[in-house]
Amino acid sequence: MTSIVYFDKLLVETTEREQFIVSLQHERFPPSTCPPVTISGETLNQIIDDALFLSEMIFSTTKRLFNNDPLQQAAALGLDADLQAYLKLWNLPELWSQAKWFFRPDFLLTETGVKAVEVNVAPALGGPGICDVHAQAYQERFASVDQRTATLSTEPLGERWLSEILMLAHHKVRSNSESAVFCSIVPDSSFDLNDDFTLPGFKTLMKWHGVNYFYCSADELEFKSDGVRCNGLKIDVVFTDFCYSEFIDSKTNFDVISDLTNAHVNNQVLFLSPPHNTIYDQKSIFTFLTDDSNSGLFNKDEWQRLQRLLPQTKNFDKDTHQLLLNQKNSWIIKPKHNYGGNGITIGKDCDKVTWQQALHSALHSPSDYIAQRFVDQQLPIYDPNLESDRVCCIGPLFNYGVYIGTFYRDIAAQRDKPSIINGASGARYGSIRIDYAKS
């Protein structure tokens, strides 16, 4: 493995977020990238169990609410017409099964337990790379000087994430021992992944495992009789960078996505992320699981557990608009298809005029938004490296339904101002640190 290079201390003239991103872009890792002890092993096991339960409930919506018809679910969610046409063309059981391969609920840690604010049903990309690099940095820098670290553990999330994919690619696409070639596709040439601070860590992860990685625009792919190529290089694994809303917004020709799916079905490439996951990778999926009118579709224990784990989530309409006008501090609004914390408005975090303007804007395109109860009483975690309290988001990650590690993000706790715990808003990334001595 490559050696780790550190900054000795946080630079005074930069903010915590600026230092974190600059360090990652230059493959340097300050002590602040190692998250504090977060939870006990016993608590983590309970969170993993909650995550598995939640995924089971999410994947069961097709049967419980839509008579086992995923196309009906896609229509009810209001998916883009191009997406719906694609799903109708590729309405194959194996692809609907593949839609459940990867998932990660995002839990906020609160004083009364965990609350899932959204779920990601897609292969993770940059995060696992950063997590493994941080884990190595932690081991190299601290294990030799602090004997207490013998009771702590970080999880090799990226290694576990990649190993299963490589095994599947080997059986599906390659029969020899050549190094796998990974390609992530972006909607068009205007997307520059080099601006993504997670990319260096992701490239490092791939390099550690002998994988050739690059990215390209979707229209640069070439479909040949012997497989999928880009600039003459044969590709083993393809995944889509960014969510499909970005591909739709950029007017990407879905013929490319169909060509990729065809190559996948014919075992010419492993296409990790065909758009079938879009019926589950939806902020609005929680509306199905928190609407009182659906309580009869679940048994008593399931419904009580859903109420404990999920904040009430509503589709945006005139009635919701009126409710939120009168209960500003209790709600947030989110774009259904956005990511990275973009477009979220927290009622408690803004004045009355700003809140009214946000609600008015959402009412112009209500099908694009959901409303969700604000999750209060987040549990602060003290970080001795930064000498500050943090609030965190814990994301147990699953490959093919099997737990492989926990994605951890945190941000400075602010007394009077709620925080969005996402990289775009300044959160740190890492794999979770567990104190097994307390379990």
Question: Pairing between strand 237-240 and 181-186?
Answer: parallel
| Terminal Cα-to-Cα distance of the chain (whole angstroms) | 32
**How many Cα atoms within 13 Å fall on the side-chain side of residue 96?**
18
Residue 75 lies in a domain: no
Residue 318 lies in a domain: no
Question: Over pLDDT 90: what percentage of the chain?
Answer: 43
Question: Can you tell me the distance from the alpha carbon of 254 to that of 144, in angstroms, rounded to the nearest whole number?
Answer: 53
Residue 346 lies in a domain: no
Cβ 121 vs Cβ 99: under 8 Å: yes
Higher pLDDT, 425 or 147: 425
- With tokens 């994301």, the residue in question is 395
Residue 6 has pLDDT above 50, yes or no: no
- With tokens 């009430």, the residue in question is 312
User: Of 300, 285, 346, 293, whose CA–CA distance to 116 is shortest?
Assistant: 285
Residue 81 lies in a domain: no
Residue 3 has pLDDT above 60, yes or no: no
* 28 phi and psi angles, rounded to 5 deg: -120, 145
Residue 177 has pLDDT above 60, yes or no: no
Higher pLDDT, 426 or 326: 326
Cβ 236 vs Cβ 269: under 8 Å: yes
Which CATH number characterizes residue 151's domain?
3.40.50.1760
Residue 92 lies in a domain: no
Q: Can you give the residue range of the structural domain that contains 184?
A: 16-42+97-281+378-438
Ramachandran quadrant class, 199 (left: phi over 0; alpha: psi -120 to 50; beta: rest): alpha
Query: How many domains does the chain contain in total?
Result: 1
pLDDT score at 224: 92
Distances (CA, A) of 156 to 131, 153, 159, 385: 7, 10, 6, 22
Average pLDDT over residues 350-375: 90
Cβ neighbors of 425 (< 8 A, separation 6 or more) are 341, 411, 419
Residue 249 lies in a domain: yes
- With tokens 């604010």, the residue in question is 117
**How many Cα atoms within 13 Å fall on the side-chain side of residue 50?**
26
Q: What band does 341 get if pLDDT is binned at 50, 70 and 90?
A: low
Average pLDDT over residues 382-411: 87
Residue 333 has pLDDT above 80, yes or no: yes
Residue 208 lies in a domain: yes
Instruction: Count Cβ atoms below 10 Å from residue 412 Cβ, excluding itself.
Output: 17
Cβ 421 vs Cβ 393: under 8 Å: yes
User: Of 302, 285, 279, whose CA–CA distance to 97 is shortest?
Assistant: 279
Question: Can you tell me the distance from the alpha carbon of 216 to that of 182, in angstroms, rounded to the nearest whole number?
Answer: 11
The string of pLDDT tens digits covering residues 30-78 is: 555 566 777 888 888 999 999 999 999 999 999 999 999 999 999 999 8
Residue 9 has pLDDT above 90, yes or no: no
pLDDT score at 129: 84
pLDDT score at 18: 65
The string of pLDDT tens digits covering residues 244-294 is: 888 888 888 888 999 999 999 999 999 999 999 999 998 899 999 999 999
pLDDT score at 5: 40
Residue 176 has pLDDT above 70, yes or no: no
Residue 29 lies in a domain: yes
